[in-house]
Amino acid sequence: MGFIFNDVAIDLLEKYLDAAYQRQEVTANNIANINTPGYKKSYVVFEEFLAQALKEKEGAPLRCTHPAHLGSVPALDEIAPEIRRDYSTSHRADGNNVSIEEEMAVLAVNAINYNLAAQQLSNKLSLLRYVITEGRG
Amino acid sequence: MKLIPGIAISASALTAQKLWMDLIANNIANMNTTRTEGGGPYRRQMPVFRERLKEALEGGYRGNGVRVERIIEDDAPPRMVYNPDHPDADENGFVAMPNINIVNEMIDLIAASRAYEANVTVLNTSKSMALKALEIGR
């Protein structure tokens, strides 16, 4: 990213959009397999990593330079969404553990969050445009 | 990364659920069919759903929707109905009728149509997300 885009918020919003996109795909796949016997649902973990990294940023961090370092918390620019699969539960006799209510709720919340992040990014960019055009844009 | 998240996933699910509905329609249509290509009464058909995965070499999330692996026939014995006048009746006057239970079929029909609706909702949500992404920087 160049000098005028050197803004943590823009990077974070981009990451968030990627994570929400991924979550949409994962949720779509869960709902697609609602009638597949033995299917186990997947989910995206991202917000936890983000919160961890932000907390680390506030304190005086001992920066880990390698993921294998003890107590390693990824730096803000290194966090990425992680997809996990839940093998621990079974909702039905056929071994499927997709709960349609839960998935639809995740879907609705995720779409709103995605729109929020996209809107926020738009606002950031329009602020930049405003400055570039000396307040005439 | 494609523009619309999971469009192929939702599309595959719509196709699979629709195929299930086709099979249910066929089952109900053939509720009283005693003559089939293979001989004997019609047998109830059911889809076997299986999770579809992307090629491992593509990397990233591998879930890629659902597919109908094959269509199986129900092994349940035929329904024996006493009807000596029927041309397919055996020597005791019983006719082997298809092993279709209309209540089961109706329940499956509801399950299939609800699953279809859920996937349409997902598709619409994905679409609105993609439209929102196009507005960034406008």
Q: What is the pLDDT of residues A64-74, one digit of tens each?
A: 666 676 666 66
Asked whether the predicted pLDDT for residue A40 surpasses 80, the reply is yes
CB B79 within 8 A of CB B104: no
List chain A residues with CB under 8 Å of B6.
Answer: 24-25, 27-29
Quote the distance between the C-alpha of residue A31 and its chain's center.
19
Per-residue pLDDT, A1: 45
Distance in Å, alpha carbon of A55 to nearest chain B alpha carbon: 27
Once rounded to an integer, what is the mean pLDDT over residues A10-16?
A: 89
The H or E element that residue B8 is part of is helix B7-29
CB A9 within 8 A of CB A48: no
Q: What is the pLDDT of residue B85?
A: 93
Q: What are phi and psi of B31, to 5 degrees?
A: -55, -35
How far is the first Cα of chain B from the last one, in angstroms, to the nearest whole number? 21
Contact B135 A107 (CB under 8 A): no
pLDDT of amino acid B32:
93
DSSP assignment string, A43-81: EEE-HHHHHHHHHHHHS-----SSTTSTT----GGG---
Using one digit for the tens of pLDDT, what is the confidence trace for B79-135? 999 999 999 999 999 999 999 999 999 999 999 999 999 999 999 999 999 999 999
Q: What pLDDT, on the 0 to 100 scale, is given for residue A2?
A: 53
CA dihedral B106, B108, B114, B118 (to 10 degrees): -170
Which residues have CB under 8 Å from B70's CB, separation 6+?
A: B47, B48
**Chain B residues in contact with A121 (beta carbon < 8 A):** 136-137
Question: pLDDT tens for residues A75-95?
Answer: 777 888 999 999 988 878 889
Q: Which helix (H) or strand (E) holds A27?
A: helix A8-32
Structure confidence by residue, pLDDT tens digits, B36-77: 998 889 999 999 999 999 887 666 678 889 999 999 999 999
Residue A49 has pLDDT above 70, yes or no: yes
Interchain proximity B122–A28, CB inside 8 Å: yes
Q: Which helix (H) or strand (E) holds A62?
A: none
| Chain B residues in contact with A36 (beta carbon < 8 A) | 49-51, 66
Nearest chain A residue (CA) to B6: A25
- For residue A36, give the nearest of B49, B64, B138 by CB distance: B49
Q: Which residue has the tokens 């006719």?
A: B95
Q: Which residue of A has its CA nearest to B131?
A: A115
